[in-house]
Amino acid sequence: MILLFTDFGHAGPYVGEMHAVLAGAAPEVSAIDLMHDAPRFDPRAAAYLLAALAERAPAGSVFLAVVDPGVGTARAPLVVQAGGHSFVGPDNGLLSLVARRAPPASAWEIAWRPERLSSSFHGRDLFAPIAAMLAKGCVPEVRPRELSSLVGADWPDSLAETVYIDAYGNAMTGLPADKLSPKTRLTVGRHALRRAETFGAVAPGEPFWYENACGLAEIAVNQGSAAASLGLEVGSPIGVTGP
């Protein structure tokens, strides 16, 4: 299957146009909308979210990943293979965490170009056709790249920042929960938040953190919005204290 991960949102023609390309080029392959509200214009935050989501994808998935504020510039288009999956997207850090966390990994710069390439929509004209080729088992024209040369290769493995706010106001961080002790406190401003296993383990209105379904540490308020209560947004720093 092909999993679409973008910051496009569902309004407008952009997601639909990519689906149309995929349906035309690989009609036998399922194309799934994984998410289209990835952190907007923020490939660094999106990289930690993508890496967490990829861990639970079906084997052999192709990720069409587009958070690309530098579209049309000299930034390179990439194919990364890691953890039994293929990832197609820009060399702006978006694919750096998946390459690091799921060895063995390999990276290639895409040399193939379509007859018509919009300067502002590589998701449709370049990345979607490549994703279709990979899903069908075809090998596009590529050049090998060293993993150490990718943008984001020097980013930390765990990011003590908010990387996503969901519709409930819960705040995902870039911290893998299995790297934190049950006694770890996450600090937001003057609030030191304890860990809880479930929302029902704390009183309504109480903030806490927990391991979410993606394996990330997530800050929440039982029956409330952590973003509104604690003033969180994408990029907000998170303190980590305790064992």
Q: Identity (one letter) of the amino acid at 157?
A: D
Return the H-helix or E-strand segment holding 78.
strand 77-82
Residue 76 confidence (pLDDT): 98
Cα–Cα distance for residue pair 122/141, rounded to 1 Å: 16
Q: Which residues of 19-29 are buried (b: 16+ CB within 10 A; e: fewer)?
A: bebbeebbeeb
Q: Which two tokens stand for residue 118?
A: 């919009």
Mean pLDDT value of segment 168-186: 97
- Render pLDDT for 39-69 as a digit per residue (tens, 0 to 9): 999 999 999 999 999 999 999 999 999 999 9
Tell me the β-bridge partners of 241: 185
Q: Which two three-digit tokens encode residue 25?
A: 């080029």
Q: Name the pLDDT band for 184 (thresholds 50, 70, 90).
A: very high
Identify the CA nearest to 65 among candidates 147, 7, 138, 14: 7
What token pair was written down for 238? 């998170």
- pLDDT tens, 125-139? 999 999 999 999 999
For 2-149, CATH gives 3.40.50.10790
In this model, does residue 232 exceed pLDDT 80? yes
Decide: helix, strand or coil at residue 124.
helix
> So what's the pLDDT on residue 134?
98
Please say if the pLDDT value at position 177 is more than 80: yes
Mean pLDDT value across the chain: 97
Note the pLDDT of residue 147: 97
- What integer pLDDT is reported at residue 118 of this predicted model? 96
Mean pLDDT of 220-241: 97
Higher per-residue pLDDT: 129 or 104: 129
Nearest alpha-carbon partner for 182 in 197, 160, 164, 167: 197
Query: pLDDT above 90 covers what percent of the chain?
Result: 98
Domains 2-149 and 159-241 share a fold: no
Are the beta carbons of 109 and 70 closer than 8 angstroms? no
For the chain, the structural domain boundaries read 2-149, 159-241
What is d(CA 195, CA 185) in angstroms, rounded to the nearest whole number? 7
Cα distance between residue 229 and residue 137, in whole Å: 48
At 102, is the pLDDT very low, low, confident or very high (cuts 50, 70, 90)? confident
pLDDT at 23 over 80: yes
Specify the higher pLDDT residue, 101 or 238. 238
- pLDDT above 80 (res 243): no
What is the separation of C-alpha 118 from the centre of its chain, rounded to a whole number of angstroms? 24
In this structure, CATH architecture of domain 159-241: Beta Barrel (2.40)
